Amino acid sequence: MSLRARATALLASLGLALPALAQETPVKFQLDWRFEGPAALFLVPAAKGYFKAEKLNVSIDAGNGSGGTVTRVASGTYDMGFADLAALMEFHANNPTAPNKPVAVMMVYNNTPAAVLALTKSGIRTPADLAGKKLGAPVFDAGRRAWPIFAKANKVENVSWTAMDPPLRETMLVRGDIDAITGFSFTSLLNLEARGVKTDDIVVLPYAQHGVKLYGNVVIAGEDFLKKNPEAVKGFLRAFTKGVKDVIADPKAAVATVKERDGIVNADLELRRLTLALDQTVLTADAKAEGFGEVSPGRLSLMASQVSDAFATKERVNPAAVWNGSFLPAAAERAIFKK
C-alpha cells in the first residue's frame, strides 16, 4: 500500500479526509481576430504559465470579428473573449431578454483603433475632404458602423458606401474603386504597404484624434461564467495584466510567442502591428489618465448614447449593464505606464 493510500485509510478511520487536490478551472477564450501581433497580449501569459499559476486551464482560439465573439460568448460556446465594446453594447440593446449576455470586465484598447485611410493622390487630407466621396469597408467593420459618430463630429455629409469582404478592402482602395476606407489603423496601414503603397502616400485619420472618444476592445465574460466562477475571472485578469507588462517590455519576444502559435506569420510585420496597436490604443494619454483596465463613467455613458443613435438599436444602451469593473486587479497591479 502506498504512503498516500495509508494516510487516506488512517484519516478515513478517524472520520477525516485529505484536502482535495487543487483543480484548474477550464476557460475557453476567443480573440476578436486572427493570431496577429496584438494576440500576444493573451498568448504571452498563456505561454509563460501565468494562467496556470492562477489555477486556470485557458484555451485561446482565433476569431473572425468582434460581433462573432460576443455572440459565441453569449451562447456559452466560449466563457470569455476579446471584443469591441461597441459590438457588445449593440448586442445588449438589440437582445434585451437574451440570457447570459456578456459583460465587459476590463478595458484594453482605451481608444478605438478605427480610422479612415486614403491615398494622398485622392486629395483627402482632413475629414472635411471626405464630403461627397465614395468610402468602402465590410458591413461589420467597427469604423463603418461608427461612421455616423465620426461624420457628426466632423460635419461630413453626402458620402456613399461600398461593401466588400475584408481581403478586398485595401485592394479596392489601391485600384481606385473607392476614395477611402475605414478599418483598424494598425491593420489597414500595413495591408496597404503590403500592396506596394509607400507609407508617405497613405493618409490616416484616426477616429480618436478627430473628435470620437469611443472605447475600443475589452475583455468580456459570459454572465453565467461570472456568477459561477468569479475568482477565476479575477485570476484571469491578474494573469493577463502580468502578461501585458511583459509584452510592453519586450514586444519582439512577444511576437515570437505569436509565431509559435501560428508559424506562417511574418514576425517583422507583426512586430510593427503590435507596436502600433500598443501606441495607439493601450499606451495612450486617455488610458494613462483613467488607469489601465478602467473606464470613465461619463465617457462610458456618452459612448452608450452614441452607439444607441449610430447603430439604431432596439433599446437604448444601458452602460451599467455592459460594464463591471469589480473583477479588476488592484490599481497598483495595473500600473503598466513607465514613470
Indicate whether 28 pLDDT > 90. yes
Read off the pLDDT of residues 188-220 as tens digits, 9 standing for 90 and up.
Answer: 999 999 999 999 999 999 999 999 999 999 999
Q: Is the pLDDT of residue 263 over 80?
A: yes
pLDDT band at 338 (very low <50, low <70, confident <90, very high): confident
Yes or no: say if 150 and 120 are a contact pair by the CB < 8 Å rule.
Answer: no
Residue 141 and residue 183 in contact, taking contact as beta carbons nearer than 8 Å: yes
The pLDDT tens digits of the residues spanning 144-192 come to 999 999 999 999 999 999 999 999 999 999 999 999 999 999 999 999 9
Query: CA-CA distance, 107 to 329, in Å (whole number)?
Result: 12
Q: Where are the beta strands (DSSP E) in the chain?
A: 25-30, 56-61, 80-84, 103-107, 114-119, 134-136, 160-162, 180-184, 202-206, 217-221
High-pLDDT (> 90) share of the chain, %: 92
The answer on pLDDT for 329 being more than 90 is: yes
pLDDT, mean over the chain: 94
Domain ranges in the chain with CATH number 3.40.190.10: 25-110+215-327, 114-209
Dig out the grid coordinates for 13 from the structure: 478511520
Q: Is the pLDDT of residue 303 over 60?
A: yes
| Per-residue confidence (pLDDT) for residue 4, from 0 to 100 | 53
Domain covering 114-209: architecture: 3-Layer(aba) Sandwich (3.40)
**pLDDT beyond 50 at 19:** no
Whether the full predicted model's pTM is greater than 0.85, yes or no, is yes
Assess whether pLDDT exceeds 70 at residue 11: no
CA end-to-end span of the chain:
59
Average pLDDT value for residue range 59-84:
96
Which sign does the torsion angle of CA 52, 109, 259, 28 carry?
A: positive
Fold of 25-110+215-327: D-Maltodextrin-Binding Protein; domain 2 (3.40.190)
- In which band, very low, low, confident or very high, does the pLDDT at 309 lie, cut at 50, 70 and 90? very high
| Position 15 pLDDT exceeds 60 | no
Instruction: Name beta bridge partners: 61.
Output: 30
What does the pLDDT look like over 228-243, one tens digit per residue? 999 999 999 999 999 9
Beta pairing partners, 280: none
Q: Using alpha carbons, list the distances in angstroms from residue 174 to 116, 226, 269.
A: 14, 45, 20
Q: Which of 235, 267, 237 is nearest to 251 (CA)?
A: 267
pLDDT attached to residue 18: 43
pLDDT range class, residue 6, cuts 50, 70, 90:
low
CA angle 160, 161, 166 (to 5 degrees): 160
Give the residue among 101, 66, 102 at the shortest CA–CA distance from 84.
66
Q: Which amino acid is at 180?
A: A
